[in-house]
Amino acid sequence: MNNTITFNTFARTKLAICVALACGTTATHADEMTLDTITVKDTPVEEGAGTGTAIDQSTLQFLQPATNDTATLLRDVPGVNLNGAGGVSSLPAIHGLADDRLRIKVDGMDLISSCPNHMNPPLSYIEPSNVGSLQVYSGISPVSLGGDSIGGSIVAETVAPEFASPGEGNLVKGEVGTFYRSNNDAFGGNAGATFATEAFSIRYSGSWSKANNYTAGDDFKTTTATGVPGHELPLDEVGSTAYETQNHTLNLAVKAGDDLFEAKLGYQNMPEQLYPNQRMDLLDNEQKRVSLGWTGGFDWGELEARVYHESVDHFMDFGPDKRFWYGPLSQPPAAPEIGTPCSPVGFMTCAAGMPMYTESETTGVTLQGEYDLTDEDLIRVGAEYQRYRLDDYWLPSGGGMWPETFLNINDGERDRTALFAEWESQLNASWMTLLGVRYERVTTDADDVHGYAIVMPAPGNQLVDAAAFNAQEHERTDDNVDVTALARYAHSDNLDIEFGVARKVRSPNLYERYAWSTWGMAAAMNNFVGDGNGYIGNIDLDPEKAYTVSATFDWHAADRSWQVKATPYYTRIEDYIDAVRLTGWSADQFNVLQFENQSARIYGLDLSGQMVLGRNDWGEWGLKALVNYTDGENRDTGDDLYNIMPLNGRLTLTHKLGGWDNSLEWVLVDSKDNVSDVRNEVETDGYGLVNLRLSHSWKQVRVDLGVENMFDKFYVLPTGGAYTGQGSTMSLNGIPWGIGVPGMGRSIYAGVNVTF
């Protein structure tokens, strides 16, 4: 049988991307156009050192109908790319560093992925329609934004509370919206309502969405059952990409003079999110969270306090595309329900299931104050505490997975205590500086473990591995120090320069330290990078220590009618947690790897620009451009780092006329040739995509229409990992190696939002 997928590539070169940027940011030939010049309204407020990039409300509204994945709202931020995962759980990467290497805050809470595959990242708990603000620190982030990270920070907030204006009575408002996307029949809706007086505000927001598997571009063709016995999908369908989710939030706020009290409650029920690059699927995820905050204003400055608690109940097993597979049946039977016995029909083989449960509790307290030393000097100090508890266990289910419960992480503990101080100073009209230091103590621990079997026979060295793990001292304590120094220099009306250096430290997560089994089946379930390999932890891992230097050169017109930004950066990481080969490693297949401290370096360049083209009878026209380049290498081995996005760019023609707000995007991605050899990472071809977005707003109604991947091009996601979306995924090499996850083909979307 032919075990291949035929790819029709659409390669783009580095030259094309650079030309796109030049076209988007150079105004040399603007005088040849028959367009009237206009001035830019709403000139941005001058930024301080370490301010980061805020996603403006117009951009949020523009992209919300096209996605249920909040991370994708960051697609236009310089230095940010997305690592593919489930349909609502992409992992943002900043300069090649992703997942736990970033500090991601949601409503002031440091949330943690509680899953051996990290299927529930922090941004998956906030629906795009409920995002009030989104701030990205893609370079050097201030120490006040949190430690235990080395790659930058993302701060997401739900919609801020509103209060009635003095003397105007109560404020009552609401909104409803719905959307549809053609490719995967995605459908959903959102609703929100606010009631407020001058001193009290309550707001509810809720959303629901559901999607089927998506189809790849027109040239995607698979062989029957992907070349191995597997669930027979249509030839262009990408297995395990369906999802269903609902989110609810309730925000209450009370304002008393300079004091603001807030209570934010959130609930998520996710019945399904299938994963094309993992061997398991999310079949239930329930999150409950509460955050209580107080902000007070004083003559000397401001004080803010917050306490939060989150509980997560997470369940994984095989979804339908991984649950059953066939021989040559003309009429395949329907998939049995999860947890029911398999009844073979014809040549059908059925996986009885492998139920995996993860339960976690997170409690945090933060206290931060700002003290105005002078009109030009501000001191920011704070303290934080986070308590995290995790149990990860797999119930017996037959087929060698019995008679006991497999304890993957048993009573895992991860506690963080932090103190920080930051000094922000406006030295003169041209210079602003930001200096900060942060100390964190991180303590991790876990109890003894055992596998499915506690006596012989026991497949996969379960007894030996468990005994070796249990014989070690499990508790580890790390004392981490972060230091940042940033400066911003306003050279002229047309040039601002920001530069800085930083030392950032991150301690290993619980899976990196305490996942213990070398058995291929068990190790393959501990994988949060989506490469199809299995991973075992290393109790003796040291924290990662990153040393970064970067600068941003911002050339712009005095009225910001054109702007070009360039950010070169270099990061050297000591004790970088990479993967190393174990005995039995082979090329061109999936292997079991172990986490190990090594050394790495990452450097790159972010380029972005925008310009006003002008105005004519057909509206106002503009151009935006973005180029990202990152290079990462393991300094110990010379191997390329895993999941580094190749050179990529985006050129956007914008148009506004009356209530219309439209754009035409050209996305270019270079071929991925620099891959991680130790992980047998798959190379990908370059591609180009065209997206069209149209929207029209009236006083109370907004309508969005768009086409993504307009020409239905086939492409493979460069950071989407290995395709493990169908077939006998429980067996390490029971599915073919060397297939990347295809991106979505043409999709037409429409959305309507009504406010009242």
Identify whether 714 is part of a domain: yes
Query: Which CATH number covers residue 118?
Result: 2.40.170
**Rounded to two decimals, what is the model's pTM?**
0.89
pLDDT digits (tens, 9 = 90+) for 113-157: 999 999 999 999 999 999 999 999 987 899 999 899 999 999 999
What is the dihedral sign for C-alpha 399, 400, 405, 409?
negative
Identify whether 374 is part of a domain: yes
pLDDT digits (tens, 9 = 90+) for 164-198: 999 989 999 999 999 999 999 999 999 999 999 99
Helix (H) or strand (E) segment spanning residue 464? helix 462-470
The percent of residues above 70 in pLDDT, for the chain, comes to: 87
Identify whether 395 is part of a domain: yes
Strands 103-106 and 153-158: parallel
DSSP per-residue string spanning 254-292: EEETTEEEEEEEEEEEEEEE--TTSSSEEEEEEEEEEEE
Distance separating alpha carbons of residues 597 and 651, to the nearest angstrom? 39
Identify whether 595 is part of a domain: no
pLDDT at 339: 39
Q: Which long-range contacts (CB under 8 A, 24 or more apart) does 698-704 make?
A: 698/659, 700/754, 700/755, 700/756, 701/752, 701/753, 701/754, 701/755, 702/61, 702/752, 702/753, 702/754, 703/750, 703/751, 703/752, 704/62, 704/65, 704/66, 704/179, 704/749, 704/750, 704/751, 704/752, 704/753
Ranges of residues in the chain with a pLDDT under 50 are: 1-46, 223-231, 326-348
Domain count, the chain: 1
Identify whether 522 is part of a domain: yes
Among 245, 249, 244, CA closest to 206: 249
**3-class DSSP state of 70:** helix
Q: What is the distance, to the nearest Å, from the Cα of residue 403 to the centroid of all Cα atoms in its chain? A: 37
pLDDT digits (tens, 9 = 90+) for 318-333: 998 887 554 433 344 4
Q: Is 266 exposed, middle or buried (0-12, 13-18, 19+ CB in 10 A)?
A: buried
Distance separating alpha carbons of residues 270 and 115, to the nearest angstrom? 14
Identify whether 676 is part of a domain: no
pLDDT at 494: 96
Q: What is the domain extent for residue 496?
A: 52-567+696-755
| Per-residue CA distances from 24 to 27, 55, 556, 656, 670 (Å) | 8, 20, 14, 17, 18
Distance separating alpha carbons of residues 180 and 202, to the nearest angstrom? 29
Identify whether 673 is part of a domain: no
Identify whether 683 is part of a domain: no
